[in-house]
Amino acid sequence: MVPRTSTETTVGQLVVGAIMLGCAAAGPFPSPVPLLFVIAAVGTANAAFDLMRTFGSALLGGVAVASVGLAAVPFATCSNDRFTDVFTCAGDAPTWHMTGSVLVAGLSGASLVLARIAGTASVDQRLARIQEDLNAMRGRR
């Protein structure tokens, strides 16, 4: 396995976040999918930094779970005339809703993986510094 630096994972997080924001701004997704993309992008931005990695990962996990849960809801609500005002039911809106929900869940998962890699690399770097300090202290005696 090739060790990754925090710079590589930060660039990966930047790319995933840009894709999320692009999908929110330019995608043909009905509400609330663009909001899920924006929340996931905020989680991705937080997960890129050591201090906020836990909060960002929690936010990304929540968005992924919510996206999976919301993926098929328009198909259920649009099949009943009573709930057609909850989600947009015209044309391909339910299909785009499901597509966007699955896409935001996948991108959130990818960002979670990058956050985990960055966290592991950060811990490895700290342990290496501690080991160097211990070796330096042993060499002085």
Global confidence as pTM: 0.81
Question: Computed over its alpha carbons, how large is the radius of gyration of the chain?
Answer: 20
pLDDT at 100: 93
Express the helix, strand and coil content of the chain in percent, nearest 5 each. Answer: 80, 0, 20
pLDDT at 1: 47
Query: What percent of the chain stands above pLDDT 70?
Result: 92
What are the extents of the domains in the chain? 6-136
pLDDT at 84: 62
Instruction: Mark the ranges of the chain whose per-residue pLDDT is less than 50.
Output: 1-2
